[in-house]
């Protein structure tokens, strides 16, 4: 893999899902098939009882947009995702976390409702904890004995909070960057 596009908290918004997939296509230009993947950090179809309805709430349309890209997507389960969602999606969504190497760093990806910066999983110095759930982009270093670990949150594609933009992340050989879904501009170092 040469590039990872990371998004969280679609919450059934066809409008924001379409914008994300347009950005994913743009980020994939010039790469061979399989060199760019889309990591979804949960809460794909349902808006959740604590959230307002996102713009163009249409889970069936989101299903129709995501399923054709199944070979490019990997996903972890959010607190709003359930067995019924897995029944309609053609790629696995029920894993609580994924652990993988990315550009020399071990990454622990999860939704964030269980494991997050306040309650991290067992990590080693140099690891990265990647999660969504809070709908606010974040990049911090947290101390560990012998070093630190990175805390990374792409924000939310459809329901951003605390005045943050609709956003996603791209992680390539130059490291992670946060991108405003509307403008396409990077906004965090």
Q: What whole-number percentage of the chain has pLDDT above 70?
A: 99
Strands (E), the chain: 3-7, 36-40, 73-75, 97-102, 105-110, 128-130, 138-144, 147-153, 167-172, 175-180, 186-188
Element (H or E) spanning 27, and its range? helix 14-28
175 φ/ψ angles, rounded to the nearest 5 degrees: 100, -175
Entry pTM: 0.96
The answer, yes or no, to whether residue 164 has pLDDT greater than 90, is yes
Q: Which two tokens stand for residue 60?
A: 């069936």
Per-residue pLDDT of 116-125, as tens digits, reads 999 999 999 9
Q: Where are the domains of the chain?
A: 3-188
Quickly name the fold that domain 3-188 has.
Purple Acid Phosphatase; chain A, domain 2 (3.60.21)
Per-residue pLDDT of 76-111, as tens digits, reads 999 999 999 999 999 999 999 999 999 999 999 999
Q: Residue 188 — very low, low, confident or very high, per pLDDT cuts 50/70/90? A: confident
> Is 17 in a helix, a strand, or coil?
helix
Query: Mean pLDDT of all residues in the chain?
Result: 96
Per-residue pLDDT of 32-84, as tens digits, reads 999 999 999 999 999 888 888 898 999 999 999 999 999 999 999 999 999 99
176 φ/ψ angles, rounded to the nearest 5 degrees: -80, 150
> Is 172 in a helix, a strand, or coil?
strand
């Amino acid at each position: 893999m040469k590039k990872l596009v990371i998004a969280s908290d679609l919450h059934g918004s066809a409008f924001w899902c379409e914008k994300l997939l347009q950005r994913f296509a743009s980020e994939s230009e010039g790469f061979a098939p399989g060199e760019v993947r889309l990591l979804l950090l949960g809460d794909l179809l349902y808006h959740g009882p604590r959230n307002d309805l996102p713009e163009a709430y249409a889970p069936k349309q989101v299903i129709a947009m995501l399923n054709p890209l199944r070979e490019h997507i990997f996903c972890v389960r959010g607190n709003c995702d359930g067995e019924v969602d897995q029944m309609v999606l053609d790629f696995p969504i029920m894993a609580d976390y994924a652990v993988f190497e990315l550009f020399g760093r071990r990454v622990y990806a999860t939704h964030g409702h269980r494991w997050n910066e306040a309650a991290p999983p067992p990590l080693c110095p140099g690891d990265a904890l990647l999660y969504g759930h809070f709908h606010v982009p974040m990049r911090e270093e947290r101390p560990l004995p012998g070093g630190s670990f990175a805390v990374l949150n792409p924000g939310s594609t459809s329901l951003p909070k605390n005045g943050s933009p609709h956003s996603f992340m791209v992680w390539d050989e130059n490291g992670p960057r946060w991108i405003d879904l509307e403008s396409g501009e990077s906004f965090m170092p």
